[in-house]
Amino acid sequence: MQTFDLITCIVQRGEADKVVKKALQEGAQGATVYYGRGTGVRQKIGLFGALIQPEKEVILIVTPADITDQIFNACIIAGKLDLPGRGFAFIQKIDKAVGFLERLK
Residues in the chain: 105
pTM of the model: 0.85
Q: Burial level of 74, CB count in 10 A (0-12/13-18/19+)?
A: buried
88 within some domain:
no
Instruction: Tell whether 95 is covered by a domain.
Output: no
Domain around 37:
15-52+70-82
Residue 87 falls inside a structural domain: no
| CA pseudo-torsion sign 63, 69, 74, 80 | positive
How is residue 31 annotated by DSSP? -
pLDDT of residue 105: 46
- Give residue-wise pLDDT tens across range 42-88: 555 555 555 667 789 999 999 999 999 999 999 999 999 999 888 99
- Is residue 27 domain-resident? yes
